[in-house]
Amino acid sequence: MTTPIRVLELRSVRGTGGGPEKTILFGAARSDPARVSVTVCYIRDTRDDIFAIGERARALGLDYVEVLERGSFDPSIWAPLRRLVAERNIDIIHGHDYKTDLLTWLLAKRTRRMALSTAHGWAGLSPREQRIYYPANKRLLARFPRVIAVSSRIRDELLRHGADPERVSVVLNGIDPTRYRRDEARVTRARSALGLRPSDIALVTVGRLEAVKRFDLLIQAFSDVHRARPDCRLLIAGEGSERQALEAERDRHNLGEHGVFLGHVGDPTDLYHAADLFVQSADSEGTPNAVLEAMAFEVPVVATDAGGTREVLRDAVDGIIVPTGRVETLAAALRTVLANPMEARMRVKSARHRIETDLAFETRMRRVEAIYEELIARPAQAAG
């Protein structure tokens, strides 16, 4: 390419967002400027008073734009979106959720640009999303000229809804191994800041406090472990609608100070440095960024077999994978890791090597950039 491909990353989210924000923002920051010029646009609801994506984007020096809306279906956003496409002379419009996928499709048709989506998964919170929006989104994505799926399971789901296999590419989420690197000098301070004693064993998890993450199951499994290992403490980082119910679950198991809710943690680096074990308990995931982070920071991992977890964390090689929804199996895996620290250390070394090679963010971005170039080379498919 003689000039960079101009890409508009388009996303709609509330609050602090989730894993896709790391993929979008760091992806824009680490793109090769000789190949791709990226504008990141977030649609921001004016009623959302905790929206924090802009601060993160500006800290990374991104070309970042917000389009304000007064409700979930505000037609006034259309004009500024069309203007943005024209002013930036965008080549590819890249959606990242069911709302911006629809906007991407319509904008591409109207402005004769290329349409692309990354399918991060469909782990929604509301029955309406599950019954209406997600099925419609899958059918729409089947008409896109190209879709990036963050796991093979997501790709398979798209194929079941009619997508052309040649138009769906699996590109796993990645992580920056230079930014996410363990520093033993931080461990003592990080543990002290969290109120951990030297003898405490810290089990850590990170995620939205929503039903799909199954922190209720984790609390039950931890309670079983804690009876035999009273030196264990469970630290849960995140916020969400299930917090009150989860706190009640903790209290029902009489965990007291051994089950701690940390709230939203903007930068979990110290949390991973304080951790002796990381746990994912979710029923559904795309490619879990928190698992990637734990692997990068050399924390032993026990994770449920949700979404693309098995593709990034090889069972019995980089960590331990257990079936979803089984308290007893999860508790047994936690006990196994705690009882066999040398085996856990070998898996940690393997996981770190994988982060530095196959799962490095640079590797991911080169694959994505190749997809941009392939899409530009086939303009006849722009509208599907």
- What's the CATH number where 110 sits? 3.40.50.2000
* pLDDT one digit per residue (tens) for the chain, 384 residues: 579 999 999 999 988 888 899 899 999 998 999 999 999 999 999 999 889 899 999 999 999 999 999 988 899 999 999 999 999 999 999 999 999 999 999 999 999 999 999 999 887 667 778 888 999 999 999 999 999 999 999 999 999 999 999 999 999 999 999 999 999 999 999 999 999 999 999 999 999 899 999 999 999 999 999 999 999 999 999 998 999 999 999 999 999 999 999 998 989 999 999 999 999 999 988 889 999 999 999 999 999 999 889 999 999 999 999 999 999 999 999 999 999 999 999 999 999 999 999 999 999 999 999 999 999 987 544 444
| Domain assignment of residue 89, yes or no | yes
Do 347 and 306 fall within a single domain?
yes
| Domain assignment of residue 179, yes or no | no
- Range(s) of the domain holding residue 64: 5-174+360-381
Do 129 and 231 fall within a single domain?
no
- pTM, 2 dp: 0.85
| Domain assignment of residue 150, yes or no | yes
- The number of distinct structural domains making up the chain is 2
Do 151 and 274 fall within a single domain?
no
Do 42 and 72 fall within a single domain?
yes
pLDDT value of residue 383: 46
Do 209 and 308 fall within a single domain?
yes
pLDDT value of residue 379: 59
Map the chain to HEC letters: CCCCEEEEEEEECCCCCCHHHHHHHHHHHHCCCCCEEEEEEEEEECCCCCCCHHHHHHHCCCEEEEEEECCCCCHHHHHHHHHHHHHCCCCEEEECCHHHHHHHHHHHHHHCCEEEEEECCCCCCCHHHHHHHHHHHHHHHCCCCCEEECCHHHHHHHHHCCCCHHHEEECCCCECCCCCCCCHHHHHHHHHHCCCCCCCEEEEEECCCCHHHCHHHHHHHHHHHHHHCCCEEEEEECCCCCHHHHHHHHHHCCCHHHEEEEECCCCCHHHHHHCCEEEECCCCCCCCHHHHHHHHCCCCEEEECCCCHHHHCCECCCEEEECCCCHHHHHHHHHHHHHCHHHHHHHHHHHHHHHHCCCEHHHHHHHHHHHHHHHHCCHHHCCC
Do 205 and 313 fall within a single domain?
yes
Do 15 and 136 fall within a single domain?
yes
Do 284 and 367 fall within a single domain?
no
Do 309 and 376 fall within a single domain?
no
Do 155 and 37 fall within a single domain?
yes
Do 222 and 318 fall within a single domain?
yes
